[in-house]
């Protein structure tokens, strides 16, 4: 038995691998687009997955280590034939075949990215290197040489199929690359004012290196890249105890606890609703521009104004309490979105006053607090 099977194995290994199914060459064959979303179990990632899954030609693969994300965010897709979920840490290489990569994996809330700063910087630098390595490996090469040697006609047909795809990788960078900005609002041409050794550096310097790596792979290896600089985004599915300001204020208002404004409260942010953000990311991926492109809502609010709005809309009885701030908190932030408007035809549609009640609804459900309370 043993010798038979080893003979058999030997014979098989000298055989050429089989050609792709003849169905691939049929007139009506249309291959699906395989899209990898790293960090797809997180807040923005899971909304992006929902949108990508709406297109029946998309197969979506999520790779996530569940540090700040959860399978719960993807529960409606688990078991779907066009969906796959992989527990994977992007600091380790990933060997799969994909046509596009949305690279989001990275904790985004300051509390979580400061929790293990070394891991945060590894996620940004090694994680991005691994995803660029994957993009380079699968990028538009398609094993032509092998097929060329074997079958010229087949190679031509594969070329026709392959040329339907433009392999691309999109990085979700951040407005934090502008640090504590001295230019206001921030255009993409501003190089920023970042503390390289501060407690936020693991994230903001990490994202700056990630942007550098994207452009180096683009220039050196011809990779198709896209970079979105995302400004503060909010909406349903944010972790309730995520620590970011909008989720904190809504959870506090619903629990009847004081809204904790970190001093001085005059610092500003611009808040974009998540469906607008997802729309911007997909337009950037599909369009011809590499970026970096700012994506955000230019409506600018102080943290006291935000607290007052949440109080008015959700629970007029709660107090607003001033608490101590954390180091290096940017004093002002507002995106200049002229490029997004001009190059992507994109601008956000949902105002803060319309987005907050949608998020309130989701938080009420998850916290089990109904409207009458
Ligand atoms: N939400 C915002 O306001 C905002 C602003 C600027 C940039 N961004 C960027 O957008 C992306 C998504 O942000 P979000 O708000 O959805 O955050 P999130 O924390 O909800 O999601 C991040 C996801 O990445 C996963 N992850 C973290 N480290 C990982 C690792 N090493 N390997 C695999 N998975 C890992 C987490 O488990 C989570 O599912 C991040 O890259 C973030 O930097 C977000
Ligand atoms: O309870 C709180 C939490 C936060 N804040 C303040 O609210 C402002 C916003 O803080 P957040 O923690 O929500 O977010 P930040 O603007 O600091 O960072 C954010 O922006 C860029 C993204 O890349 C990051 O992922 C995101 O968390 C800060 O000025 C902070 O001091 C409060 O006043 N109260």
Q: Which of the two residues, 147 and 353, has the higher pLDDT score? A: 353
pTM: 0.89
Instruction: Give me 236's structure tokens.
Output: 């349903």
Among 122, 10, 114, 15, which residue's Cα sits nearest to residue 65?
122
Q: How confident is the model at residue 371 (pLDDT cuts 50, 70, 90)?
A: confident
Among 194, 314, 322, 335, which residue's Cα sits nearest to residue 266?
322
Does the annotation mark 113 as catalytic?
Answer: no
Of 11-25, 127-141, 203-217, 311-325, minimum mean pLDDT range: 11-25
pLDDT exceeding 70 applies to what percent of the chain? 84
Query: What pLDDT digit, counting tens, does each position of 173-191 carry?
Result: 999 999 999 999 999 999 9
Beta bridge partners of 102: 37, 170
Atom of ligand 1 nearest to the CA of 107: 19
Among 287, 300, 304, which residue's Cα sits nearest to residue 341?
287
Question: Where do the H-state alpha helices sit in 151-273?
Answer: 152-162, 201-221, 245-255
Distances (CA, A) of 364 to 58, 245, 252, 274, 351: 33, 17, 11, 18, 20
Atom of ligand 1 nearest to the CA of 203: 43
Instruction: State the DSSP H helix or E strand holding residue 35, giving kind and residue range, or none if neither.
Output: strand 33-38
**pLDDT of 150:** 46
Q: How confident is the model at residue 138 (pLDDT cuts 50, 70, 90)?
A: confident
Q: How confident is the model at residue 256 (pLDDT cuts 50, 70, 90)?
A: very high
Mutate to test the pocket of ligand 2, among 303, 306, 320 (most ligand atoms within 8 A of CB): 303
The rounded mean pLDDT for the chain is 89
pLDDT tops 70 at residue 164: no
Distances (CA, A) of 273 to 151, 228, 297, 309: 51, 15, 8, 16
Mutate to test the pocket of ligand 1, among 50, 61, 68, 231 (most ligand atoms within 8 A of CB): 68
- Which of the residues 113, 147, 178, 203 is marked catalytic? 203
Interface confidence, given as ipTM, is: 0.99
Average pLDDT rounded to a whole number, residues 246-264: 98
Instruction: Determine how β-strand 268-270 pairs with β-strand 233-234.
Output: unpaired
**pLDDT of 157:** 44
Q: Which ligand is nearest to the CA of 270?
A: 2
**Are 238 and 362 within 8 A, CB to CB?**
no
Interatomic CA distance for residues 319 and 301, integer angstroms: 19
Average pLDDT rounded to a whole number, residues 41-45: 98
Query: What pLDDT digit, counting tens, does each position of 58-117 carry?
Result: 999 999 999 999 999 999 999 999 999 999 999 999 999 899 999 999 999 999 999 999
Which residue has the least CA distance to atom 41 on ligand 1?
104
pLDDT tops 80 at residue 255: yes
Tracing tokens 């060459």 back to the chain, one arrives at 25
**Are 101 and 168 within 8 A, CB to CB?**
yes
Q: Which residues line ligand 1 (CB under 6 A)?
A: 38-39, 41-45, 64-69, 89-91, 104-108, 123, 127, 172, 174, 230, 232-233
Q: Which ligand is nearest to the CA of 120?
A: 1
């Amino acid at each position: 038995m043993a010798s038979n099977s080893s003979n058999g194995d030997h014979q098989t290994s000298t055989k050429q691998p089989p050609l792709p199914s003849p169905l691939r060459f049929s007139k009506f064959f249309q291959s699906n687009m395989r899209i990898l979303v790293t960090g797809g179990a997180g807040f923005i990632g899971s909304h992006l997955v929902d949108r990508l899954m709406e297109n029946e030609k998309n197969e979506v693969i999520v790779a996530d280590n569940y540090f700040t994300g959860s399978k719960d965010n993807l529960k409606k897709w688990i078991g779907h034939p066009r969906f796959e979920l992989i527990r994977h840490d992007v600091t380790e290489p990933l060997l799969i075949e994909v046509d596009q990569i949305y690279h989001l994996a990275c904790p985004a809330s300051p509390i979580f990215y400061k929790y293990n700063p070394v891991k945060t910087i590894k996620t940004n630098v090694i994680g991005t290197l691994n995803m660029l390595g994957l993009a380079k490996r699968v990028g538009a090469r398609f094993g032509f040489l092998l097929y060329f040697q074997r079958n010229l006609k087949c190679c031509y047909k594969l070329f026709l199929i392959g040329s339907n795809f433009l392999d691309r990788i999109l990085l979700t960078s951040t407005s934090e690359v502008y640090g504590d900005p001295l230019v206001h609002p921030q255009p993409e041409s501003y190089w920023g004012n970042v503390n390289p050794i501060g407690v936020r550096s693991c994230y903001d310097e990490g994202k700056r290196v990630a942007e550098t790596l994207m452009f180096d792979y683009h220039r050196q290896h011809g990779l198709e890249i896209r970079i979105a600089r995302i400004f503060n985004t909010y909406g349903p599915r944010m972790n309730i105890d995520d620590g970011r300001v909008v989720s904190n204020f809504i959870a506090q208002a619903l629990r009847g606890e004081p809204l904790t404004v970190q001093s001085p409260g005059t610092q500003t942010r611009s808040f974009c609703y998540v469906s607008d953000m997802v729309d911007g990311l997909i337009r950037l991926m599909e369009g011809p521009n590499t970026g970096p492109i700012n994506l955000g809502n230019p409506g600018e609010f102080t943290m006291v104004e935000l607290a007052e709005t949440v109080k008015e809309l959700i629970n007029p009885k709660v107090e607003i309490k001033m608490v101590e701030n954390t180091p290096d908190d940017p004093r002002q932030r507002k995106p200049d979105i002229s490029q997004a408007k001009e190059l992507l035809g994109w601008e956000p549609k949902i105002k803060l006053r319309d987005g907050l009640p949608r998020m309130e609804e989701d938080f009420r459900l998850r916290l089990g607090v109904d409207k009458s309370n």
